[in-house]
Amino acid sequence: MRAMILAAGRGERLRPITDTIPKPLVEVGSKPLLVWHIEKLKKAGIKEILVNSAYLSQKIVDFLGDGSKFGVSITHSVEGSSGLETAGGIINALPFFKGEDFLVINGDTFIDADYSQFLKPLPQDKVAHLYLVENPPHNLKGDFSLQGDICVRGPGFTFSGAAMYKCKEFEGKIIEKKPLLPYFEKWSKEKSMQGSLLQGKWFDVGTIERLNMVNDYIKAHNL
């Protein structure tokens, strides 16, 4: 299985830190967010990783290189300064996945969990599997609800940004700036999307306050 780490975000709410570095290179504990993800993917057996970038992309490319220093193989997908949003970024990177189901992780999150939970194969009749978390204070309205293992739009839980997708849902699409939400809306209506609760601790490192929360968590748990 191959994985994509989304690393194209600007990180406005993490300024002034992100004035000089892209958000996924912001350090938590002693390592950039991207490195935490790469190490956990490697431990789960995923060593073929694509990282997309836009804002200050050269810093990500230079820091990660080909991934050999982390014991993985990293392919870079540089999208230009404005980025392509999530769906556009996936479509642009589609050849990397070689037609197989693939994992996507948000680079601006911190997840204290075993990433092998993300390796569950998708059934033939399902196009995605979203990993959800309890609604945090900054998203109390939630994103999705579960009807058994079917994931639909609703207030029950928050999307962690980690998900498995089928290539066929993105094949033949134009490479352009495009969000994932229209895909989620379609799959929700079709009931072709699975979901389950993420087993572990999840943080969206989107603000200075949340960055401090992650650092406190890492310190308290000796990570």
Q: What is the pLDDT of residues 184-210, one digit of tens each?
A: 999 999 999 999 999 999 999 989 999
Question: What's 129's DSSP letter?
Answer: E
What CA–CA distance (Å, rounded) separates 38 from 191?
32
- Res. 144 pLDDT band, cuts 50 70 90: very high
Output the pLDDT for position 11: 66
Distance CA 169, CA 66 (A): 28
Q: Is the pLDDT of residue 82 over 90?
A: no
Decide: residue 1, CB within 10 A, 0-12 exposed, 13-18 middle, 19+ buried.
middle
Q: Name the least confident of 41-45, 109-113, 121-125, 165-169.
A: 121-125
Q: Which strand (E) or helix (H) includes residue 42?
A: helix 33-43
CA pair distance 82, 80, nearest whole angstrom? 6
Residue 81 pLDDT > 90, yes or no? no
* Angle in degrees, CA 35, 38, 43, rounded to 5: 125
Cα separation, 5 vs 191, whole angstroms? 26
Q: What is the pTM of this model?
A: 0.94
